[in-house]
Structure 1
């Protein structure tokens, strides 16, 4: 158990002293960029799914005829 506690305390010390953290304004900016691209990717996926569903519907209706 001592090894685990020692590992965790050393990991936190490493994060505090050796990691370069971005400025808060940069974090906010990049969060907005990620959110916008996530929405755009979701809309693109929805659009492709809708188009494929319609194409497959037309194809299967053509096969029934």
Structure 2
């Protein structure tokens, strides 16, 4: 059993060495882009929800 675990971990280590890791600047840029895109999407969903709620309140008040 321990031999299988050892072999698995060795394979994982070898595969991780093949990974093309991003540079620090690429990581920072992608993180900023993700945060901005998430914020914009959240604001859009919030505003759409408010508009729909307002329209429904108007319709139900008739």
Give the TM-score band, short-chain normalised. Answer: 0.7 to 0.9
The runs of 4+ residues in structure 1 deviating greater than 6 Å are none
TM-score (norm 1): 0.82
Unaligned runs of 5+ in 2: none
TM-score, normalised to structure 2, is: 0.86
Number of residue equivalences: 61
Q: Distance in 2 between matches of 1:13 and 1:57?
A: 60
Q: What is the RMSD computed on CA atoms of the aligned residues? A: 1.3
